[in-house]
Amino acid sequence: MTPTSIFKRARGGREQIDIQEAYNIWNLLKARYLSAQTVQLFSNFVHDRDLSIVLNTLLTHFKQQIDILEKEGRKFKITLPTRPPLDIKFSTSINDITDEYIYHKIIADMMAQLFSLTHALRSTTTNDTLRVHVINDLTGHIKDFEMLYKYGKMKGWEEPPPAYKTATPVMREQLSTAEAFHIWDHIAQRYDQLELTAFFHGFAHDLDFRAILLAGQTILNKQVSMLEQYALNFEVTLPKRPAASVKSPIDPETMTDKMMFSYIFNGIIGSVDLHIKAIIETIKNDALRQIWLNLFKEELQMYDKYVKYGKMKGWTKVVPIYGEPV
């Protein structure tokens, strides 16, 4: 039996999930039911036609995601949460519930769900197919969040945060203080990751793992160069760079590939969280938010590849399988 087969298939070829993945299906479905109900409820009070179109688009996407999660729940015989009513309708409208209020309630709900989705992502490591569903759900949720946010910004419902002030005037779209911090924070994190990756490369034994570390360094250097240039353009102070070379008297035999893989893998998970926080808090500079979106997509692809590679090597933790006798 290959290292990966114990994670996904039981005897007889039946597809498996672990106990946390079973909870993820239940929890995400429960959240999606609530989101669909919220949109259906507030759709009764909308005045602006454009907002009605945006909410209908969100509801369509929520229903598609619900269908996928319900299908996965039935496949693995999971007790699913109670389904909500098919729709919520009112014959009268209440003018006190404004479109701006509806916008802020729904976007706050979507922000909260982003963190539920990222938790599901980091804990869906056993079943590759389910992880793809979670990644697609998370990517689609980010797109829907941005669509709704841009609508709110166009309507003037997003209050401008404190601006990042520089010595020289900035002619193009400015940064907020949070956006300037995220540029600095992303660069600082990548400096740490570069230093750690170079350090681990000096101790890695597996040839494939050494090649992966080198490829990671190339990607990180490319991202650092882009972010450094952006920081210079907006006069954001750069953090101190790591040393040009990393040497250590540690005995190579004490550094195992499995341990180094775990550190790198946890760093990727941390980067996903970092990108999402940056996307949420970048509400002034649209071009910068697009950078975070691109980095977020790259990180998701990297995460999925690392999960599969770690399972192939037998380096990922084996979570108890859902439904298996103990």
Find where tokens 């976007």 sit: 107
**pTM, rounded to two decimals:** 0.87
pLDDT tens across 13-26, in order? 578 999 999 999 99
**Which among 95, 122, 155 is the end of a domain?**
155
Rounded Cα distance, 58 and 148, in Å: 9
What pLDDT does 6 receive?
Answer: 39
pLDDT at 172 over 80: no
Domain extent at residue 116: 8-155
Asked if the structure places residue 318 within a domain, the reply is no
% residues pLDDT > 70 (the chain)? 88
Same domain (yes/no): 88, 190: no
pLDDT tens across 260-298, in order? 999 999 999 999 999 999 999 998 899 999 999 999 999
pLDDT tens across 201-218, in order? 888 999 999 999 999 999
Phi, psi at residue 9, to the nearest 5°?
-120, 135
| The total number of residues written for the chain in this structure | 326
What pLDDT does 165 receive?
Answer: 84
Asked if the structure places residue 1 within a domain, the reply is no
Distances (CA, A) of 49 to 164, 203, 321: 35, 61, 48
> Could you tell me the CATH number of the domain that includes residue 50?
1.20.1260.10
Asked if the structure places residue 19 within a domain, the reply is yes
With residues binned 3-state (H G I as helix, E B as strand, rest as coil), the percentages for the chain, rounded to 5, are 65, 0, 30
Asked if the structure places residue 15 within a domain, the reply is yes
Asked if the structure places residue 162 within a domain, the reply is no
Same domain (yes/no): 54, 135: yes
Rounded to the nearest integer, the mean pLDDT of the chain is 88
Same domain (yes/no): 23, 64: yes
